[in-house]
Amino acid sequence: MIYQAQNPSIPYKVDRDFDQGLIWSTLLLISIGLVMIYSASIAIAEAQFGPEKSGHYLIRHSAYLAVGTLLGLIAFQVPIALWQKFSGYLFMIAALLLVVVLIPGIGHTVNGSQRWIPLYLVNFQPSELMKFAIILYTADYVNRKAIDLDHFLRGFVPITAMLAIVGFLLLMEPDFGAFFVITALAMSILFLGGVSLKIFIGLIIMLMAGLYALIMFWSYRLTRVVSFLDPWADPYGKGYQLSHALIAFGRGEWLGVGLGGSVEKLFYLPEAHTDFLLSVLAEELGFVGVSVVIALFIWLIMRAFIIGRLAAKLELPFSALVAKGIAIWIGLQAIINIGVNMGVLPTKGLTLPLLSFGGSSITANCIALAVLLRIDWENRKKLRGLSV
């Protein structure tokens, strides 16, 4: 059945309450993630906790998914108007947590980075909450400052100052990957919201100069950039992780060595069940398996943009920007993680959305996708002429 919105030029099929493509792509990615996390973590779980606990990481990830699903169900019940109203408060809470994680004795340090707040049973990563918060905050900012977006002082400086504070806190951890993603999200929403092209180009130039300085003047970042260009130059040192990721891809060929048959996950490839899960998937399921994962991400992102475009046509600018922001978040982080695993981008500590092991990441993804579903649900309600 075709319903018409108040604007008769918007035909849209709303015979169901939710976007089926979005739901199925999400469920399939989560399901693949569960299978691959179990496969990639068996060896390390047995080594750490004994043979009887080979499913340790699978159980933990399932628990994270259950919590993320519960929080997602709660988030879905919240009208988008309320998300907009309280977006500033959420942003301030996320920023405060970025300060708390830096306090000695509170923040938990792993591999030299102080990014986690211990919560007894789990560790919480505030930067994941900030990724979600920055989407809501920037979308609301663009709507409030619509008439000032072309004005440098009134429209541009305030949001830039906020980003500078957040960026400083993230670099103190340090978490360069989260800093890049959060900055890219804010910039993308500003661009989609109609910021002046001159101002936008100027900001891009400033950011490029800043990124260059951050890489050139901190030796460990420069080392990462240089080592990914030729990991075989030091395969037992700086290029160790990437060289083994590439070996995993090479062993997978077209159809893979079979589920559970990976050799690289047997203590050769570090972070096999987290940042480098795709490498294990490539080894076990081959080119076909990786292609399926990429296709599912493309499908999910396309559906999110379609939802955002419809919201814009229905004159719901905040909803439109949030939907597109969530699409960019998932798409950008997936591109970076896939690029790192394939050796075309420098190594960064970013998980593969919906697949990699990580409580904060999967929980934030579930909440964001629940909000995206809420936008889709409200779009369909409006198309039917019903109140939200």
Q: What predicted TM-score, i.e. pTM, was given to this entire model?
A: 0.93
Burial of 366 (0-12, 13-18, 19+ CB in 10 A): buried
Q: Across residues 50-60, what is the average pLDDT?
A: 93
For 12, phi then psi, to 5°, come to -155, 130
The pLDDT value given to residue 205: 83
How far is the CA of 360 from the CAs of 2, 117, 372, in angstroms?
A: 40, 11, 18
Is the pLDDT assigned to residue 337 strictly greater than 80?
yes
Helix (H), strand (E) at residue 340: helix 317-342
pLDDT tens sequence across 115-125: 889 987 788 99
Q: Is the dihedral of CA 271, 275, 281, 282 positive or negative?
A: negative
Element (H, E) at 35: helix 20-49
**pLDDT classification of 166: cutoffs 50, 70, 90:** very high
Contacts of residue 1, defined as CB under 8 A and 6 or more positions apart, other chains included, come to: 13, 14, 15
Give the tokens for residue 272.
């096999």
Predicted confidence (pLDDT) at residue 6 exceeds the cutoff of 80 = no
Q: What is the mean pLDDT of residues 225-250?
A: 86
Instruction: Write down the pLDDT at residue 123.
Output: 87
* Cα–Cα dist 283/276, whole Å: 11
Transcribe 85-140 into DSSP letters: HTHHHHHHHHHHHHHHTTSTTTSEEETTEEEEEEETTEEE-HHHHHHHHHHHHHHH
> What are the pLDDT digits (tens) for 115-152?
889 987 788 999 999 999 999 999 999 888 765 666 66
Delimit the domains of the chain by residue range. 2-383
Residues 6+ apart with CB under 8 A from 187: 200, 203, 204, 207
Please give the helix or strand (H or E) that residue 12 lies within, else none: strand 11-13
- DSSP-assigned letter for residue 258: -
Indicate if the pLDDT at residue 29 is higher than 70: yes
Which H helix or E strand runs over 33? helix 20-49
Pairwise CA distance, residues 54 & 59, whole Å: 10
